[in-house]
Homo-oligomer: A and B are copies of this chain.
Amino acid sequence: MSRSKLLYAHSGGVTAVINATAAAVIAAAREQEGRIGGVLAAHRGIVGVLHEDLIDTSGLDAAALARLARTPGGAFGSCRFDLPHDDDGKVMERLFAVFDAHEVGFLLYNGGNGSMDAVARLQAEARRRAHPLVCIGVPKTVDNDIVGTDCCPGFGSAAKYLATSMLEAGLDIASMAGPKGSVFVMEVMGRNTGWLAAATALAAGGDPERPPHIVLVPEAAFDEEAFLARVRETTERLGYCAITVAEGIRRTDGSLLMEKSHDARGYVQLGGAGSAVARMIHGRLGYKHHWAIPDYLQRAGGHWLSATDHAQAIAVGRAAVAYAVQGLGGTMPAIRRVRDAPYQWDMAPLDCDAIANLERTLPADFVRADGLHVTAAACDYIRPLIVGEFTQPTQHGLPDYRAFDLPRLGRRLAAWRG
């Protein structure tokens, strides 16, 4: 059997551990030297493939791969790009032309739901063309919304970061609580799902008097009056109230809570749900209000990784290479939970066709009936995913992240004019 190259690509938003997956893919592929003739990485994901902007990873030695595996962000660059359905196959044609020009026989695509759709479509296209390409999905998303896997690499570290942040900010605001009342709102990622918001509930350790006192998720409609009543009741009892808000919460009429405002030039601007909620409380109840928006910090926290998440990020990368050489095109390594405590898991190939473009939301029994918090079942599910610390080497007090030397391959095709 001929040796062909493996092409690896990040897809969509990056995470604190996606580089760990990348490093594992490269290391595992090198162990398959009888089957895999080298590893290329797309610069900026599938857009880089279209533009034939490909990185030669052969110069990354073991030390560089170890460093890559602990560096947050996506070292090869990523993008948000969905394969079009209405371009008469031009994008597909170009992708296969690039694969052929660079002897790519294996494509490992590291992303979320949309990426698994791309994997399924690319594999179907290869079948249609009787092309030998083997395309494997590799799960990644802080949103934890891929169907059919216990969890998604990237989520555990973001969950740990946010639960720790709520725990620590909660101690701060509790210190400052007084008779006038104060509220703290933390807005977390999650346009359609409340997984990251739910993770902050771990900060309370099961005690309803400890932060967060309220957790708002997109799966439960936001009822302003019921919410404010709970805020008032909590603040009157404790002197303060700490609240987690997923960015995508919606009112009972389905409208997003993100605030709308006009800037000095009249542009309509969307602000965050967190500041909207904090301002609502201040306006209606008069309490002192603070809000935090960790934004990118929550998905880039390499200084405080979940060791469990990091191990899973590596494992899915290695499994994807194994599936590739086994010819399991169109699949993704899915994580399966064997037991909760102690957490045990394994992996199995899952057909990307069956999960593409689906979205895993919080199950009904993870959201409290009043829609203002998550349940113990949600905490039991998330708890093992944040366990374990990871020691980063430091220099001058900061994690020792450094740039990588990523030489590009020469172009063999005409420029892409898509």
**B-contacting residues of A (Cβ < 8 Å)?**
10, 13-14, 16, 44, 47, 71-79, 160, 163-165, 167-169, 171-178, 184, 202-203, 259, 261, 263-265, 267, 269, 271, 275, 279-280, 282-283, 290-297, 299-304, 306, 308, 383, 386-389, 394, 396-399, 401
Contacts and interface: CB of A to CB of B under 8 A. Distances in A.
B297 A165 contact: yes
A16 to B, nearest CB: 8
A397 B306 contact: yes
Contacts of A399: 164, 167-168
A397 B388 contact: yes
A294 B171 CA distance: 15
Contacts of A290: 295-296
Determine the main DSSP class of A at the interface with B: mixed
Contact of A176 (B13, B165, B267): B13
Contact of A164 (B165, B294, B398): B398
A24 to B, nearest CB: 18
Contacts of A296: 168-169, 172-173, 184, 290, 292
Given A75-B175, A263-B283, A271-B271, A169 B297 contact: yes
Contact of A293 (B263, B280, B293, B398): B293
Contacts of A14: 172, 175-176
B292 A280 contact: no
Nearest to A293: B293
A397 B160 CA distance: 7
B13 A171 contact: no
Contacts of A297: 165, 168-169, 292, 294
